[in-house]
Amino acid sequence: MKNISLIIALAIGLFSCSKNSEKADGYGNFEATEVTVSAEANGKIEFLDIQEGDLVEAKKQVGLIDTIQLHLTKQQLLASKNTVSSKSANVLSQKSVLLQQLKTVKLEKERIRGMYDENAATKRQVDEIDGKVAVIEAQVNAVGTQNAPIISDLKSIDVQIEKINDQIQKSKIINPIPGTILSKYAESGEVTAFGKPLYKIANISDMTLRIFVSETQLPQIKIGQEVAIKIDAVNEMKSFKGTISWIASQAEFTPKIIQTKEERINLVYAVKVKVKNDGSLKIGMPAEMWIK
């Protein structure tokens, strides 16, 4: 009986040793696409309504850089446009009067031509009316020439107004992607400049585990394949479902996170695994990948 108990104890011990000696198929760290949002305008930050750890939606305005000078410049341009437009209106009014005169003179010309054909008018009358028509047509063309630079000025002012509108829009701090605020570099009331970082954000709802596998492991994996991901926990390792999303086409030297000399001298392939985050996964956290 004692021998049977000893055999059972030895079997359990051997099973435990073999289980503990199992190694994961890959090791790596979690990462996420981090976006550093920078200022696109110069001036005082009126407000920056975010805090580290906040979950922010995409396309949401989270701040504003002072736009008073831009609005004043826009008002000045609008006033200039009204002034130039009034000049164009005067020119167009003159052209309208001349066109009406031209219409009347052309009717008179047709009447005199008809009378001339019936020998009721002289050649001199015909020449005089032709001269009047030519003079008014020349005046119409001259007025049209005067309006051309005015139209050009109006287009130039419109372009300047569009530039101001673009600068006003860029003074709004718009969050580019949905995610969690990782770091905040500026506060309301500070003066910022174009290109200065304001905050860093990353979408950590779906994390990417970047691991490295040997050449002999490549035939066992493929894009879209589901694998088990494990992280350290208090009593036992916590498991997640992962999906392989990318496999490197070229080998690279084993990174420093693999410590043994035998592993460091080998070439490995980088693999990315997408993992749904339940809130416990953090950027930089180490993890293991298990194929089986």
- The pLDDT-based confidence of 38 (bands split at 50, 70, 90) is very high
Contacting residues for 238 by C-beta, under 8 A, at least 6 apart: 230, 231, 232, 280
- The pLDDT-based confidence of 258 (bands split at 50, 70, 90) is low
CA–CA separation, 278 and 147 (whole Å): 67
Tokens 């894009």 belong to residue:
223
* Sequence-ordered strand ranges (E) for 14-80: 26-31, 34-38, 43-48, 55-56, 61-65
Q: Is the pLDDT of residue 170 over 90?
A: yes
Q: Is the pLDDT of residue 149 over 80?
A: yes
Tell me what pLDDT residue 8 has: 35
CA–CA separation, 196 and 41 (whole Å): 9
Tell me what pLDDT residue 257 has: 57
Alpha-helical regions (H) of the chain = 2-20, 68-117, 123-171, 261-264
Q: Which regions of the chain carry the CATH code 2.40.50.100? A: 35-66+172-196
CA dihedral 108, 109, 112, 116 (to 10 degrees): -170
Tell me what pLDDT residue 120 has: 78
* β-bridge partners, 207: 275
Q: What is the CATH number of domain 35-66+172-196?
A: 2.40.50.100
CATH topology for 26-32+203-290 is Elongation Factor Tu (Ef-tu); domain 3 (2.40.30)
Lookup: tokens for 103:
């219409």
Report if pTM > 0.75: no
Instruction: Give the residue from 137, 126, 128 showing the smallest Cα distance to 101.
Output: 137
Computed over its alpha carbons, how large is the radius of gyration of the chain?
40
Give the CA diameter of the chain. 151
Tokens 């070439």 belong to residue:
267
Q: Is the pLDDT of residue 180 over 80?
A: yes
- Return the CATH architecture of domain 68-171: Orthogonal Bundle (1.10)
Q: Mind giving me the DSSP string for 147-191?
A: HHHHHHHHHHHHHHHHHHHHHHHHHEEE--SSEEEEEE---TT-E
Lookup: tokens for 244:
């392989």
pLDDT in tens, 214-251: 888 888 999 999 999 999 988 889 999 999 999 998 88
Most confident of the ranges 9-18, 89-98, 279-288 = 279-288
Q: Is the pLDDT of residue 142 over 90?
A: no
Q: Which regions of the chain carry the CATH code 1.10.287? A: 68-171
Q: Which regions of the chain carry the CATH code 2.40.30.170? A: 26-32+203-290
Q: Is the pLDDT of residue 3 over 50?
A: no
Report which of residues 45 and 143 the model is more confident about: 45
